């Protein structure tokens, strides 16, 4: 039986492309990639809905290098989509022999994304993958030149599609036809496409030469304030964020809270000076229910220890917040 590897992003298009090929009697194995900026959880759910196995590839370190220095630049935010897709296809191509598969399936749709899925971008991705003769895009195949897989009869071109543009009607009709009921929004799960996360990441790379896994995970939470080259403040937005962020804190991090008032969890990361600690207390006041008070008592201490230090502080002003906030 012919076998294909389907690149499964976790979105609807990639799973529809896999299903379309599976409907031709071809065995399909899903390939999902995880990095510091996206994971495999959605892909697992999607693969289960069409009953295909899923292999997860962790390419975090290599992916991070192209995030820092993409050959083909960024999209709207810090997302190097062309470089990223090329890298994924290269990994998938290298798995063809190991998994005894003949070709690779992707869910790309011509002109769905103006920068990364126009005809030129699709050609660049294909060329730089290193496996250009092994790549099939079933959802928009009829808008493209026939591939070797179609010409040699491995795949029936007549049963492929000619979807183009940003509309989702055809995809949603196919999902209903095949009983695919749960799928995420087209925005996807990549943090690099999120404006605020991208601002934080860019700011981090401006100050830290070699960010750690912890540094990158902390970008997911709260508001960030750069108060000095060696220290920054994180202010959580919700109770849930305050609980989640503790997974990434250690005994060198300072934690602040306002006496007698509920509010945001305030954390100082790095090596703060006295004036940095004083400003963190002002931020704690600003994001507490005592923000209208003239003076607040702010307790602080190292994570997982008693907050046995305190500062009497006024809440930060709007001008001060805007001066230091990253987002």
Beta carbons of 163 and 139 less than 8 angstroms apart: yes
- Domain limits, the chain: 3-190, 194-324
What mean pLDDT is predicted for residues 46-52? 95
Bigger pLDDT: 111 vs 92? 92
Give pLDDT tens digits for 15-31.
Answer: 999 999 999 999 999 99
Q: How far apart are CA 111 and CA 108, in angstroms?
A: 9
pLDDT of residue 182: 83
Q: Are strands 27-34 and 3-7 parallel, antiparallel or unpaired?
A: parallel
Q: How far apart are CA 225 and CA 235, in angstroms?
A: 8
**Residue 46 burial (10 A CB sphere; 0-12, 13-18, 19+):** buried
pLDDT of residue 114: 64
The dotted CATH code for 3-190 is 3.40.50.620
- CA 40 distance to own-chain centroid: 11
In this prediction the pTM is 0.87
| Local confidence band at 188 (pLDDT 50, 70, 90 cut-offs) | low
Token match 């070699």: residue? 210
Beta carbons of 6 and 21 less than 8 angstroms apart: yes
The pLDDT of residue 256 is above 60: yes
DSSP count for the chain of H helices, then E strands: 12, 11
């Amino acid at each position: 039986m012919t076998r294909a590897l389907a690149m499964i992003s976790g979105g609807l298009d990639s799973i529809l492309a896999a299903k379309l090929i599976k409907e031709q009697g071809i065995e399909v194995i899903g390939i999902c990639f995880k990095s510091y900026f996206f994971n495999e959880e959605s892909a697992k759910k999607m693969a289960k809905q069409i009953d295909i196995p899923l292999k997860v590839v962790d390419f975090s370190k290599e992916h991070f290098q192209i995030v820092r220095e993409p050959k083909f630049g960024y999209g709207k935010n810090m997302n190097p989509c062309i470089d990223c897709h090329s890298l994924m296809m290269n990994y998938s191509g290298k798995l063809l022999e190991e998994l005894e598969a003949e070709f690779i399936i992707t869910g790309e749709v011509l002109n769905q994304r103006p920068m990364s899925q126009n005809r030129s971008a699709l050609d660049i991705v294909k060329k730089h993958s290193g496996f250009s003769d092994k790549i099939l895009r079933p959802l928009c195949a009829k808008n493209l030149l026939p591939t070797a897989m179609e010409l040699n009869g491995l795949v029936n071109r007549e049963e492929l599609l000619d979807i183009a543009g940003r509309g989702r009607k055809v995809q949603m009709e196919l999902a209903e036809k095949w009983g695919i009921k749960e799928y995420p929004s087209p925005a996807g799960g990549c943090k690099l496409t999120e404006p605020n996360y991208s601002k934080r990441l860019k700011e981090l790379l401006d100050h830290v030469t070699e960010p750690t896994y912890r540094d990158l995970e902390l970008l997911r939470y709260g508001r960030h304030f750069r108060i000095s080259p060696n220290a920054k403040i994180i202010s959580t937005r919700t109770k849930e964020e305050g609980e989640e962020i503790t997974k990434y804190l250690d005994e060198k991090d300072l934690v602040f809270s306002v006496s007698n008032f509920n509010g945001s969890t305030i954390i100082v990361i790095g090596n703060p000076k006295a004036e940095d600690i004083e400003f963190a207390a002002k931020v704690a006041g600003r994001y507490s229910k005592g923000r209208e008070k003239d003076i607040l008592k702010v307790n602080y201490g190292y994570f997982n220890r008693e907050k046995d230090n305190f500062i009497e502080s006024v809440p930060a002003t709007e001008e001060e917040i805007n001066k230091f906030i990253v987002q």
